[in-house]
Amino acid sequence: MKTFLQFVVFMLLAVAVIVLAILLGDLGAWYFAWLVGTAMIVLIAAAGGVLLDTQDEHARRKAAAPSPPPATPAH
């Protein structure tokens, strides 16, 4: 039953996309590029935020860790 419902949902989505493509005509490519570009900007910004968070956490852990005693040269 789950597979059938998925099929119906995807079929309705396909019909909606086809109708939208017919209505948009030549502007469809522009809207597609706009949607893809917007999604890429959001994903890149999220990845940058995650990287910044990871760097901050790493610096915090490094600052909280006890530093090893200085090495003395052997004579």
Using 50, 70 and 90 to split pLDDT, how confident is the model at 75? Answer: low
Q: Which residue has the tokens 């790493």?
A: 58
Which tokens go with 62?
């490094």
Please tell me the least confidently modeled range out of 4-8, 9-13, 69-73: 69-73
In a domain, 31, yes or no: yes
Q: Are residues 21 and 28 in contact, defined by beta-carbon separation less than 8 angstroms?
A: yes
Q: What is the CA radius of gyration of the chain?
A: 26
In a domain, 51, yes or no: yes
Number of domains in the chain: 1
In a domain, 33, yes or no: yes
B/e letters for 12-39, b = 16+ CB within 10 Å, e = fewer, are: eeeeeeeeeeeeeeeeeeeeeeeeeeee
In a domain, 5, yes or no: no
Domain that holds residue 33: 27-60
**pLDDT digit string (tens) for 14-56?**
999 888 888 888 888 888 899 899 999 999 999 999 999 999 9
